[in-house]
């Protein structure tokens, strides 16, 4: 919290607790003391704690102490910003941010599939680098072309149905029935 937020908090307490008085001659010193204690916390977290205390019968009449306002709170520098957390793709082990992960993992999985199935069906040895260098549109076109080829040439009815679901998604009931069927 910065000093303006501390003043906002003190005003909030003063409004809700008429017996909470700050001597005008000591106002700056009070703000500094509270700021020293609260600067490591976020205003919203402290206010949330304060509102919880205000709901307690004891604190209906008696304002909470400064130490009670931060009890159980996580300091700003200890909080984790999950969008900045780095993780690794389990397929290629590339480091990724959380925001990149889903799109990357979908593409990475699809590339593995294209490599494996191209080798099996078309006798082509494609490389990950070659497929990663394609634009999203080029890759999707190649992926869909391969799927259609497999669907036309496979003798495995279950595989044909599974690929057909990609182009024509089934109803929830039909998908559930398909998943529950055994080979």
pLDDT in tens, 62-71: 888 888 899 8
Compute the average pLDDT of residues 136-158.
96
pLDDT tens, residue by residue, 41-70: 999 999 999 998 888 887 778 888 888 899
Q: Which pLDDT value is given to residue 64? A: 81
Give the number of C-alpha atoms closer than 13 A to the C-alpha of residue 150, restricted to the C-beta side. 26
What confidence tier does 83 reach under pLDDT thresholds 50, 70, 90?
A: low
Instruction: Say whether 57 sits in a helix, a strand or coil.
Output: coil
pLDDT for 169 equals: 94
Second-level CATH architecture of 3-78: Orthogonal Bundle (1.10)
**Extents of the domains making up the chain:** 3-78, 82-180
* Integer CA distances (angstroms), 60 to 14, 51, 67, in order: 13, 11, 17
pLDDT of 153 > 60? The answer is yes
What average pLDDT does range 18-46 have in this prediction?
Answer: 92
Residue 163: CB partners within 8 Å, gap ≥ 6? 147, 150, 151, 154
d(CA 113, CA 107): 10
**Conformational region of residue 168, where left means phi above 0, alpha means psi within -120 to 50, and beta covers everything else:** beta
pLDDT at 134: 96
Backbone phi, then psi, for 42, in 5-degree steps?
A: -95, 140
Could you say which DSSP state residue 88 is in? E
Q: Model confidence at 140, in pLDDT bands (50, 70, 90)? A: very high
According to the model, what pLDDT value does residue 39 have? 94
pLDDT at residue 24 is higher than 80: yes
């Amino acid at each position: 919290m910065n000093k303006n937020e501390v003043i906002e908090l003190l005003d909030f307490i003063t409004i809700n607790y008429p017996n909470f008085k700050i001597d005008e001659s000591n106002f700056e010193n009070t703000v500094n003391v509270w700021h020293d204690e609260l600067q490591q916390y976020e205003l919203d977290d402290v206010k949330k704690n304060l509102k919880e205390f205000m709901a307690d019968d004891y604190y209906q009449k008696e304002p909470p102490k400064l130490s009670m306002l931060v009890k159980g709170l996580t300091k700003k520098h200890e909080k984790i910003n999950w969008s900045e957390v780095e993780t690794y793709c389990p397929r290629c082990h590339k480091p990724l941010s959380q925001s990149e992960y889903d799109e990357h993992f979908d593409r990475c999985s699809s590339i593995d599939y294209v490599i494996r199935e191209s080798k099996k069906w078309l006798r082509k040895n494609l490389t990950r680098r070659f497929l990663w260098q394609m634009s999203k549109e080029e890759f999707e076109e190649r992926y869909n072309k391969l799927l259609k080829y497999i669907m036309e040439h496979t003798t495995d009815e279950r595989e044909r149905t599974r690929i057909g679901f990609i182009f024509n998604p089934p109803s929830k009931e039909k998908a559930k029935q398909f998943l529950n069927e055994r080979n």
